[in-house]
Chains A and B, each alone.
Chain A
Amino acid sequence: MIEAAGLTKRYGEKTAVDGVTFTVHPGKVTGFLGPNGAGKSTTMRMIVGLDRPTAGTVTVNGRPYAKHRRPLAEVGALLDAKAVHTGRTAYNHLLAMAATAGISRHRVDEVIELTGLQAVARKRVGGFSLGMGQRLGIAAALLGDPRTLILDEPVNGLDPEGVVWVRNLAKYLASEGRTVFLSSHLMSEVALTADHVIVIGRGRIIADAPVQDVVDGASRRLVRVRSPQATDLAELLTRDGATVTSGGPGLLEITGPDAASVGELAAASRIVLHELTPVASTLEEAYMALTADSVEYQSEDLATADQAAAERAAEQELVAEGDHR
């Protein structure tokens, strides 16, 4: 259980986290979703006491993180895959971490095996790929068999197999009654993994609800209609309060009424329809709609935007592939 109340972090003039209040409950995976720079990592660092809040409080399992006598048994945190000395081997890193809590070598071997690091455990971390670094971070987070897991962008840099593995691991840990708090800037990732989602943008909580509710709440109902009498239909619909945009000659995109209402209205007015399609909004669209006003770093460059879109598409493909396994 993680409870934040009025949590705020300012760096000089800039407010990174702006009075956020939320609770992360045990027994389910809670996604922490937001664009880059929205304040996810800062919030997570404040939870484990690495950054001191400017205002507000945050507790883990009932008390501030620093007050726990056995912190590794309370919280396992993957905050940054690079929070490891590059000159040390993975095994020695875990051994040193374990020593602070009297955790056995046996457990160190166990988490190495668990995260599939056997082959590289005796190699220095400096040579690790991003994916191996993530696995090591997850291994360190699991060391103390913690009641609460905080994972900042855990699938970053993982191969498809690793992505599916992290997803299943998060769900499995939650099913054991643990609190799992996992951040991502990808809605698709959160939708596949989380039961509940907290959306953050520009340091403020935008939504805090079950994943399905967020999707439903943010979806705009869009109906696409093709008709030779498009102008007449548009006029009728507008009079009824719908928002109508033209998507080309004879093509309308209608927001407001659902497909059935549009069809009935057309029939009543003896307007011929060539197409009547309800367009379901995707999770990605819901997320974009939610965070549209709160994106810190708007991409100006079309190429960048296209690339991001391509990355998302690839991610979704990858996700679909994973599910078929």
Chain B
Amino acid sequence: MSATVTAPGGRPVSSRTAERVSVRPVTFVRVLRSEWIKFWTLRSTWWTLGATVVLMVGLALLFAMAISAIPADDTAAQEGMAAGGVVGPTIVTLGSEFAQLVVAVLGALVVTGEFSTGMIRSTFAAIPGRISALWAKLVVLLAVTAVVSAVGVALAYVATAGMLDDLGLPVDFGDADQVRALVGAVLYLMAVAAFSLGVGALLRHTAASIGVLMAVFFVLPIVFQIIVAASGADWAVDVNAYLPSVAGEQIMSGGPTQEGRLEPWTGFSVLAGYTAALLAAAAVSLKTRDA
């Protein structure tokens, strides 16, 4: 056989003059850099993030327009809104109800996309500790979700501010509860992203994960709303209050806490608790199960 080996392109495998390839130890910062590259080099990232902003702004705008269309002399409707605790931030953050579904898909895809394509084997071969890959994904996901949902809330505010003033529902930045509700939309979406990453890492399957997440964040709250309305049973009220989405969304409530709901920070802590438990289970699962 020939002594020199050339690539199909004609270049030698390694020239005698080339210095050795510098390979450094795997550190968390390097894993983070790798996950950052991976995150931004997929198209799904761009369309999910784009959809998040569009939904947040679009729905706030639609809701504001719908309320503007209610005649001022329709006192029943006006009283209903007041009773429901509708304030400026309620309208500004309404889009997060829908954006959360897209954020959930993004959170799950970050890890299930690797399992479904086999990429996870490359990842774990390069990062044999495995767990740091999960934490790096979490950091990237939280950082990006924070920025994108903050942008979404800000744009939603800008788009609806004029209409809210006309409605007499301006966002009051001097009101701690209203500010908490606006910031809460960002925190809530971050929690949903982390929760979904945990589900994805546990189930390792895109369709199964998205199915579970849609059930948790979309179907279950509706089902329980119906059960509570129909039966008024105490157990149903309690379970409903502790559903991940129902509990977590309390962080976005702008007015006094409604009956059968948790206080804003209590509710958010419940969602955060579920998320932490899921991520811990995901870490154990990644470490112990074959890739």
Contacts and interface: CB of A to CB of B under 8 A. Distances in A.
Provide the main secondary structure of the chain B interface.
loop
Nearest to A106: B21
Nearest to A51: B290
B17 interface: no
A88 B38 contact: yes
A83 interface: yes
B231 interface: no
A52 B34 contact: no
Contact of A49 (B38, B118, B120, B128): B128
A45 B290 CA distance: 9
Given A92-B37, A172-B13, A68 B23 contact: no
Interface string B26-61: 100011011101100111100000000000000000
Contact of A50 (B20, B113, B114, B290): B290
B121 A144 contact: no
Residue with the highest number of chain A CB atoms closer than 10 Å, among B21, B22, B119: B21
Contact of B121 (A72, A83, A114): A83
B121 A50 contact: yes
B126 interface: yes
A151 B243 CA distance: 49
Contact of B128 (A65, A99, A169): A65
Nearest to A76: B125
Contacts of B126: 71-72, 97, 100-101
Interface in B78-132: 113-114, 117-122, 124-129
B125 A161 contact: no
A172 B37 CA distance: 33
Interface stretch (B1-9, B65-73, B259-267): B1-9
B7 A115 contact: yes
A165 interface: yes
A84 B42 CA distance: 12
B121 A79 contact: yes
A195 interface: no
A101 B24 contact: yes
B122 A84 contact: yes
Contacts of B127: 71, 100
A185 interface: no
A171 interface: yes
Given A71-B125, A96-B38, A113-B9, A87 B24 contact: no
A114 B24 contact: no
A203 B5 CA distance: 35
Contacts of B120: 83
Residue with the highest number of chain B CB atoms closer than 10 Å, among A88, A92, A101: A101
Contacts of A85: 38, 42, 113-114, 117, 119
A116 interface: yes
Interface in A88-129: 88-89, 92-93, 95-97, 99-104, 107, 113-116, 118
Q: What is the size category of the interface that chain B forms with chain A?
A: 35 or more
A189 to B, nearest CB: 14
Contacts of A95: 37, 41
A176 to B, nearest CB: 8
Interface residues of A, number: 56
A165 B290 contact: no
Residue with the highest number of chain A CB atoms closer than 10 Å, among B20, B25, B120, B288: B25
B285 to A, nearest CB: 13
Contact of B26 (A84, A89, A100, A118): A100
Nearest to B2: A168
Contacts of B290: 45, 50-52
A254 interface: no
Interface in A65-79: 65-66, 68-73, 75, 77, 79
A4 B43 CA distance: 42
A133 B117 CA distance: 13
Contact of B7 (A69, A113, A143): A113
B158 interface: no
Contact of B122 (A51, A97, A116, A173): A97
A19 interface: no
B291 interface: yes
Interface string B203-242: 0000000000000000000000000000000000000000
Given A50-B121, A92-B37, A71 B8 contact: no
Nearest to B25: A69
Given A70-B26, A89-B41, A48 B125 contact: yes
17 contacts: A50-B124, A51-B290, A70-B23, A70-B24, A70-B26, A83-B119, A84-B122, A85-B42, A85-B117, A87-B44, A97-B126, A102-B23, A103-B22, A103-B23, A143-B21, A171-B1, A172-B5
